[in-house]
Amino acid sequence: MGVLQHIEHQISALNDLIKINNDRITGYKKANEGTNETGLNLLFNEYIDQSKSNVSELREYIRVLGGSPTEGTSLSGKFYHTWIDVKATFINKDRQGILADCEYGEDIAKSAYRKAMDDKELIWEDGKVVSILHSHLENLKIAHDTIKALRDTVINA
């Protein structure tokens, strides 16, 4: 793979992560609409802000590479959010259902970051981007574990 192809592959991978974060923002906005629990609303808003920060950092690095950051969401994210919308019209979501959907979204986000970091064709030579990706992934793991713990307290209650 030539240098230009390598850079284009990195830009593409980073744009995919922007899309995943945009999906996450949309998902938590929908989750916020589904609950009036102040604690959950605050947590969901924290994760929205977290993803907005992630997007900002990813956009900055894409520009450093000479690329154009994306604005959209992932195709799978669009299908996922549509599925949530349809499901919500038929099922009155309870706390456990909302948290289960959020946990599923966190699983998708973590998987996308792992895929980008483990891609053998992507050789992340810049320590700054490696640090950014590791930091984002760690925050996603913490968010996942928090959401899962909250969901489990509902199941075990």
User: Would you say the C-alpha torsion 108, 114, 117, 121 has a positive or negative sign?
Assistant: negative
pLDDT higher at 72 or 143? 143
**Among candidate residues 4, 149, 24, 107, the one with its CA nearest the CA of residue 65:** 4
Distance, in Å, from the CA atom of 79 to the CA atom of 100, rounded to the nearest integer, reads 17
| pLDDT at position 68 | 94
Q: How many Cβ atoms sit within 10 Å of the Cβ of residue 129? A: 19
List, in order of start, the domains of the chain with CATH numbers.
Answer: 3-155 (1.20.1260.10)
| pLDDT at position 94 | 85
Read off the pLDDT band of 83 (50, 70, 90).
very low
Distance, in Å, from the CA atom of 92 to the CA atom of 31, rounded to the nearest integer, reads 13
Give the total residue count for the chain.
157
Read off the pLDDT band of 90 (50, 70, 90).
very low
Condensed to tens digits (0 to 9), the pLDDT of residues 119-146 reads: 887 778 788 889 999 999 999 999 999 9
| pLDDT at position 142 | 98
pLDDT higher at 89 or 42? 42
Average model confidence (pLDDT) across the chain: 86
| pLDDT at position 86 | 45
Distance, in Å, from the CA atom of 13 to the CA atom of 129, rounded to the nearest integer, reads 12
The full DSSP string for 67-132 is -----S--HHHHHHHHHHHHHHHHS---HHHHHHHHHHHHHHHHHHHHHHHH-TT-----HHHHHH
Read off the pLDDT band of 22 (50, 70, 90).
very high
| pLDDT at position 132 | 95
User: Rg (Cα) of the chain, in Å, rounded?
Assistant: 17
